[in-house]
Structure 1
């Protein structure tokens, strides 16, 4: 993967995380000052993350994580360096925020998954999320208000299935099949998007798409996505799923309930990705000039995704308790971004420590029996 393409992927990653933040913060109850239309992004940015994840994992497995040990070590260190601090922060922020503004936290969303999650003990929420078992089969679990963690319950399974297929040996498909069975249909329903990212990586590596076709793919995929939304095709596909599964749609599929529309989004984004890879060198000059801010913002991506929702809730609680309604946009929107900017370097710096800790645990030899 060349440097211009790497920088483009960093831009996409950050924009996707920012859209997830905007989607949640734009709800009126938070007083963020963001336009309400931003809530319409729904799960679309997460679909982008799934495709990008498959792309990046395929790249890492080919260039850096060439052994199952290195792969497992780096994936776990990457996840836990941010996930564990996010779990702790969620508990602390939720406790403080619900004390400051209990009505805000009592005003939960009325979807079945949220209502079911409210009744679960916080210990179960933390354990399921920390072990990435939070989305298996019909479970839909997250810690406190931090619902964006749902996607990690999907991605962690995809990481495992990829490793089993690549390094599982003679019985790789048996092990992968058993793991898939344990994960359940809901997670598997969105797996084609992640696999699509893997396939796109190898297509890009083959360099069979020239600049002219690449430009057509970029323009065409963007235009097609605009039409996909504006002509109501996405809405029609979502309605078709509801018609198919009826009243049990949300209970059965939860975050996978938009899978038909998600497939279209994933295919169009993949076309965009192939096109950008073909023309990346033409964009090298401006990308190199902006390299430092791009890399900096990309470094905020994971922390922004995992910390933003408990921060939005807590900072809105601060604004309500302090009678700072006029300053709420600054407190909620600006405060969340400022907090993420402070938290991200701290969590990112822990990757090496987590890698060493996990390696030490994995390599620890049992004591001989007396």
Structure 2
């Protein structure tokens, strides 16, 4: 059994372990710094992109809102039938989904979805047999549209769906009740929980991968349990009177809580390296071997995180993949072209609202959509990969 301080373990000055542990700790620190630098680059470019393109992105969103409203005005027209009516409904749904997917969207899509549902249900009440014999497929279709309307999973019975069909006022009452219940759930989720040894977690579960059995076993050792308690005592925000430092300690306690929840000994030791460098831990050969294995696992995790930053599907990663290549001049040129395309797209949407005024004009485009289900909306005349639409 070897007794070492945290700084000794993390710097691995002990001759017996210096060769292996020292290299692994250095690799972890290097890779953490590398990941932090890359994340900072993504964050900075997002700020730059937002400054350059947000206004144009929002112009497209407002134009899309006007376009959707225009398409909704055709729903009551009974001369649009069969496949063309279905195509119109699909088109409207596509446009609303595109609007909602834009990360800079300033438009509240719920009124649009509600207007879409009400117009669809009001078009021909006889198309729905509002009784117990109503086909389950039709019920499910309406249920899915209601789910899109509230933006979350819903639990609504067939009887409630039928009531909505029979009484438009019931839809308003149901929406108000559902949204109110959702707001209560959100408040409960956000409620502040006092930090203690057994209950604290204000972070996103999905960010941190689960630890291996070896890491979990190492974390559960009484030496690290004691270390956790010492860190919790040192970092507890209730013990801090300074307001600014208190805010910092709240964040640190969240990190410590996540380390405990994930049984992550490396995260714990890294925090101890900074805040309790002189804390002593007695480690036997088995624990040292477990520590070495866990350090290697941490390196693998950091490499995977770096790969996700480079090639992942988060918004910031996709932005960099699309526009971040080349030098500053080439990036500025591509962003200028993108913003010009957004402006043209917004103008075209407005022009379409003025040019498609009759059912006959709309039917021409509906026929085109039916003939080629895979075509992009006709008003987009540039590479779709360049657009968030």
**TM-score, normalization by structure 2:** 0.26
User: Which structure is higher in helix share?
Assistant: 1
Structure with bigger gyration radius: 2
